[in-house]
Structure 1
């Protein structure tokens, strides 16, 4: 099979790219405006380079903290690090971005990525301000890359709200625009748990094909699995609130879930198993919420809290502010708000009585354990919450590769 090249727009922490690289695609460039996420992509690009050279020990030294980032990056070719562009995509920058990508001299077979999706979230739509949010027009910038590089196909990811925002008019505009650029457009809602991700995460995937390469929307075989969140957390050390390990050992050998979906993928240690601290009031609320959930799968309602534990008088807008992750099932959707507080992601173990750690959140998103997130704890949480689960991305990538190579 020929080498298929892609660029990743609005790349975030490169969760989507991770799935495509694992499927054998070759990344030419990642473009992302967030500086911490860009460092994460650079570090992951360094990982893939060192893996190809059978020099992963250097990477392990870095994520263990044994060498500095500066020393680590010095061992990586500039063309690898410079392929990650920390730039906001807008009218002022886009021409320069085209020029940098063309310096690779490579044909672009595929474009992937999804513009920031907060503009289409339920909250934003309820505020009736979507027309004022410039992010809802970022698909136009995405289209300009399609027009410039004319890839055979693209994969565009977003939240389900994209289809219904502004009574469906935004999606209709997007579809018309991409069709004018020469692409047939196929949207479908995918659920991450159908691909081995332990999370009820729904996302719109829009696949576009050049009209002469039109394969429609790929067919995926749903994974039937009985694994649970506790299977993803089982081998990680127990933590108290505010406790954590930048590097630590596993407490158990890997179980069937971790092996089958390759979350424990060769390393004999785990990084970034770090939890946030909580005050006494929150811990009391967490304990109540965990006991309610574990006893009868009942969610804590804010109005039912004792008065001494309430922090505000609004008992309607924050009714489900505290939510326990279902240890005996799959998790609700992990979103970027986890960077602000952990109330919506409470660990199911009452003995630990805390919100989930960085590594636990990463596992719920199906990031492998050797994937390292740069920046602070909050920055890591934000990157994880915004990401496309690599397991889901890999399933999409395999099917896209099969179809693209069939055409070739």
Structure 2
């Protein structure tokens, strides 16, 4: 069986490439790069056969990477250059070796140019669409066109692909000139609001697909918050549990527990102060549910509960703290635990995270949901 080799840049936890590998046994991640040591350790724990380097990408020579992985034949490059990498974007110059003036995006493009993969996937925030009035994303596409690649981008919502979270991301796919580009078709539907973009053709939504054909449902209902976490033991502020409450109750929970673990990890609630517990006791859909004398400021989504019967809102790096974007448990008076956050990001319970609780929470919040990666991997199979 011929392997399809993957390089994962700005890899973080490795959730993106992990998802790709779950789409087809031919996919194999051979290299991961991230600037954070903790992220590099998490990547290594879950990609034991891959070479991992912890460094600023601007200091890593592409020829060195080729020597480490013992090939310059790579099939797929994935990654999400951080947003600050676009502030200094200029006409593409450096193609093969280091240039300390390069932006982080230019470094990503240099890897594409050096290894010449059959396809690449660039993931980023939806805000990139309107950054500098759209000139930045146009410049990125022009850069890849100059390198001999055709590109297209779409806004994908993770909830449409079995992730219990309404997380929207810009996904750009590039292929060698003349190749076909395919984006994953939704497998799940929900009726909630999304951020979206003005150009509706760039937004992949379930309105493009029939929900029913001859009385047979084609798309599944979206995975809700309680679909995702109802088998986890109820706990109070400051408590921890290592036991599951029940056996898996649905398809998603079976997927999260496919290794049939005896114990659950990271299911530990933040120890909230007495005042915070009072605030949480009033929590509802938005901050207006909180009596004014208990809080002095905050965005509309602060101190708010998740809806039990919908996918969650986008998980942030501070989801264990109630003042963050809607992260209070639907029924219990506490913020989410790291395990619940990992479930909402579609990390299975056996995925190993390095670091302390705070570091793990940030890694989870920053990650690409593996099930979104799997959906993209399914589309890449037809491209390759």
Q: TM-score range by the shorter chain?
A: 0.7 to 0.9
Q: Distance in 2 between matches of 1:11 and 1:135?
A: 22
CA shift at 1:339, angstroms? 6.4
Q: 2:35 aligns with which of 30, 33, 56?
A: 33
Query: Which residue of 176, 182, 199 maps to 2:165?
Result: 199
Instruction: Go from structure 1 to structure 2 and tell me whether the alpha carbon gap of 1:341 and 1:376 turns closer, same or farther (over 3 Å shift).
Output: farther
Partners of 1:158 and 1:201 lie apart in 2 by 11
2:233 aligned to which of 212, 215, 237: 237
Contact 2:320 2:335 in 1 (8 A): no
Report what 1:14 is aligned to.
Answer: 14
Q: Could you list the runs of 5+ residues in structure 2 that have no partner in the other structure?
A: 90-99, 189-218
| Structure 2 counterpart of 1:64 | none
Structure 1 position 225 matched with structure 2 position 202: no
Correspondences of 1:2-401 after superposition (within 5 Å): 2-23=2-23, 24=25, 25-46=27-48, 80=49, 83-90=51-58, 93-95=59-61, 97-106=62-71, 107-117=73-83, 137-212=103-178, 214-223=179-188, 224-226=219-221, 227-245=223-241, 248-259=242-253, 262-268=255-261, 269-289=263-283, 293=284, 298-301=285-288, 305-307=291-293, 309-310=294-295, 312=296, 315=297, 318-338=299-319, 343-344=324-325, 345-349=327-331, 352-401=332-381
Unaligned runs of 5+ in 1: 47-79, 121-129
Distance 1:198 1:172, change over 3 A: same
* Alpha-carbon shift at residue 267 of structure 1 (Å): 2.5
Distance 1:135 1:195, change over 3 A: farther
Q: In 2 relative to 1, CA 85–341 (structure 1 residues): closer, same or farther, beyond 3 Å?
A: farther
Q: Distance between the aligned counterparts of 2:304 and 2:228, measured in 1?
A: 18
d(CA) in 2 for partners of 1:342, 1:381: 15
Query: How far did 1:338 drift?
Result: 2.9
By percentage of residues, which structure has more helix?
1
Residues 338-362 of structure 1: CA deviation (Å, up to 9, x unaligned): 366664311111xx31100000000
Deviations 1:154-193 (A, max 9, x none): 0110011111111101111111111111111110000101
Q: Distance in 1 between matches of 2:75 and 2:184?
A: 20
Q: Please tell me whether the aligned partners of residues 19 and 391 of structure 1 are also in contact (alpha carbons under 8 angstroms).
A: yes
Question: Could you tell me how far apart the structure 2 residues matched to 1:181 and 1:250 are?
Answer: 51
Give the secondary structure class of the aligned counterpart of 2:32: strand
Task: Report how far residue 137 of structure 1 moved.
Answer: 3.5
Q: Deviations over 1:77-106 (max 9, x none)?
A: xxx47x11111111xx131x5313333223
Q: 1 CA distance for matches of 2:170 and 2:378?
A: 18
Contact 2:353-2:360 at 8 Å conserved across structures: yes
SS of structure 1 residue aligned to 2:104: helix
Q: Kindly tell me: are residues 41 and 239 of structure 1, through their superposed partners in 2, closer, same or farther at Cα, counting changes over 3 Å?
A: same
* Higher mean C-alpha deviation, range 317-326 or range 229-238: 317-326
Residues of 2 paired with 1:7 and 1:18: CA distance? Answer: 11
User: Please, what TM-score do these two structures have when normalized by structure 1?
Assistant: 0.77
- Other structure's SS at 2:266 match: strand
Task: Please report how far the alpha carbon of residue 288 of structure 1 lies from its aligned counterpart in structure 2 after TM superposition.
Answer: 0.2
Q: For residue 135 of structure 1, report the CA deviation from its aligned partner.
A: 12
Give 1:236 deviation, angstroms.
Answer: 0.8
